[in-house]
């Protein structure tokens, strides 16, 4: 079920009314959330529910067994079962065909004919997200950071919580499970803030991301015939498309959770105001970056073994992060490029220089900060080309053609005509400008509409204006979210 669908517009109020009006006891509310989560997730294909249920129950019983055992050897064996079950399932559904095809291609280069056996299975929506969320639970139980949950319904409610089930944020059991174990009361201020964040998320998704999507598709699908400046525009528009698509989903998910009395972790912190790549990765997809830090980077030794180990572990993290996104060499290349970007900061010890917000204490950034933000944004746009391209070859050709004719007057003339012929460019650019202005002014907040200091008439004028933009400028084709494929 899509957030930006008519069905969800009926689903959410119905669940909300039942949750606060009928199912007022804690366990009843958790059972309702399980039913809502299964309905929400099974809307695409009910067969996916069997996989979700199987992996959830495996982790539930494994954690219970770990909680009852004092034997380190047995606990490690049980953790292995959870790791193999979760990562094995992820590997079969997401990566098996990729490795089979890659092996066949490699053998073909050696002159060995090989017809690979392919599963050709549909990738379950959000499998990477709920797999990592469940793994955080069993790993933390193994480490003794949390106790195993005895109530199966509590654990199922945690795994299948519909606002963040399909695309995060990837919650930690230590943060989220206690919220399912204590009584919840309706908080008007929290719910109102949730609605504001949802409104901003819908604006980002429907108005910016979905309009950019059509423009970006047109450019990338004909990149070999486009002038260089148009390719640059395509890369920039994709940067905003993926941010507003995924960031919009996160805003809607976090806002929806607030309606039910839950606090989800922040997933984006205005990443395009970052002054270096290290800061960008502290602000982009925070739940995944911090997951890799806590469950992979630190267990590998972090930076405690010296600079060499820090470099090695940093490259591992970025490559695994790239591969997490999808079974394609382009994602590995994207991860490698970001690791290379990060390396000079790490080696010079400047990777933690920008821990605060840009322009702190001032309304507008200093000139040096503007240059740093533009430079960081430019680097991310180049990396995003690999993320968006179908093949590494297309990405390399795209980047070459972006710059090879940059100073050719004829290319700029063709670019002007290309933009003139597409009426959606103007509204898309204007809405991106509105996004940047609003998020800059609210950069010390959790989201762009939090705690507005305007008078009530001005606030409501802003809300109504955003609704009108969604209605009249937004793309209403119910486009899916980019990260559903991961």
- Residues with catalytic roles: 325
As to burial, measured by CB atoms within 10 angstroms (0-12 exposed, 13-18 middle, 19+ buried), residue 369 is middle
454 C-beta neighbours (distance < 10 Å), count: 10
* Greatest C-alpha distance within the chain: 74
Can you state the angle between helices 6-21 and 26-42, rounded to 10 degrees? 170
Q: Which residues of 330-358 are buried (b: 16+ CB within 10 A; e: fewer)?
A: bbbbbbbbbbebbbebbeeeebeebeebb
User: Is there a contact between 173 and 237 (Cβ–Cβ < 8 Å)?
Assistant: no
Cα-Cα-Cα-Cα dihedral sign, residues 334, 163, 206, 11? positive
What gap in Å lies between CA 451 and CA 108, rounded to an integer? 60
Tokens at 234, concatenated: 């395509």
Instruction: Assess whether the previous peptide bond of 169 is cis (omega < 30° from 0).
Output: yes
Whether the CB-CB separation of 245 and 180 falls below 8 Å is answered with: no
* Rounded CA separation 410/59 (Å): 61
Phi then psi for residue 146, to 5 deg, are -135, 160
Q: Which residues neighbour 2 within 8 Å (Cβ) at sequence distance 6 or greater?
A: 8, 478, 480, 481
């Amino acid at each position: 079920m899509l957030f930006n669908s008519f069905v969800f517009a009926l689903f959410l109020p119905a669940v909300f009314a039942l949750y606060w009006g009928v199912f007022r006891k804690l366990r009843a509310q958790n059972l309702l959330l399980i039913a809502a989560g299964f309905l929400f997730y099974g809307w695409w294909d009910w067969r996916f529910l069997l996989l979700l249920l199987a992996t959830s129950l495996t982790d539930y019983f494994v954690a219970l067994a770990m909680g009852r055992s004092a034997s380190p050897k047995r606990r490690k064996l049980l953790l292995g079962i959870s790791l193999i079950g979760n990562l094995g399932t992820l590997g079969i559904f997401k990566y098996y065909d990729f490795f089979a095809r890659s092996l066949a291609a490699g053998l073909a280069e050696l002159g060995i004919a090989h017809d690979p056996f392919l599963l050709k299975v549909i990738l379950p929506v959000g499998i990477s997200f709920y797999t990592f969320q469940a793994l955080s639970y069993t790993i933390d139980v193994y480490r003794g950071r949390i106790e195993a949950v005895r109530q199966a319904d509590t654990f199922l409610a945690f795994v299948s919580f519909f606002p963040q089930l399909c695309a995060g944020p990837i919650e930690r059991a230590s943060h989220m499970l206690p919220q399912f174990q204590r009584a919840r009361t309706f908080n008007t201020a929290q719910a109102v803030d949730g609605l504001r964040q949802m409104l901003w998320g819908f604006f980002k998704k429907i108005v910016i991301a979905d309009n950019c999507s059509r423009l970006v598709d047109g450019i990338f699908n004909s990149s070999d015939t486009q002038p260089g400046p148009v390719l640059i525009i395509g890369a920039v528009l994709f940067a905003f498309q993926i941010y507003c698509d995924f960031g919009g989903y996160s805003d809607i998910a976090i806002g929806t959770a607030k309606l039910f009395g839950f606090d989800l972790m922040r997933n984006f912190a205005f990443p395009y105001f970052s002054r270096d790549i290290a800061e960008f990765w502290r602000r982009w997809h925070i739940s995944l970056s911090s997951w890799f830090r806590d469950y992979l980077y630190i267990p590998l030794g972090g930076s405690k073994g010296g600079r060499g180990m820090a470099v090695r572990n940093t490259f591992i993290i970025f490559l695994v992060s790239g591969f997490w996104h999808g079974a394609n060499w382009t994602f590995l290349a994207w991860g490698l490029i970001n690791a290379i970007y990060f390396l000079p900061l790490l080696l010079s010890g400047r990777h933690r220089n920008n821990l605060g917000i840009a322009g702190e204490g001032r309304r507008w950034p200093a000139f040096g900060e503007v240059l740093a933000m533009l430079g960081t944004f430019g680097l991310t746009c180049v990396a995003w080309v690999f993320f968006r391209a179908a093949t590494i070859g297309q990405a390399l050709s795209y980047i070459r053609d972006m710059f090879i004719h940059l100073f050719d007057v004829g290319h700029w003339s063709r670019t002007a005509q290309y933009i003139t012929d597409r009426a959606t460019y103007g509204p898309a650019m204007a809405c991106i400008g509105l996004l940047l202005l609003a998020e800059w002014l609210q950069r010390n907040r959790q989201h762009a509409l939090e705690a507005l200091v305007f008078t009530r008439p001005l606030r409501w004028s802003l809300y109504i204006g955003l609704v009108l933009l969604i209605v009249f400028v937004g793309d209403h084709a119910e486009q899916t979210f980019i990260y559903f494929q991961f």
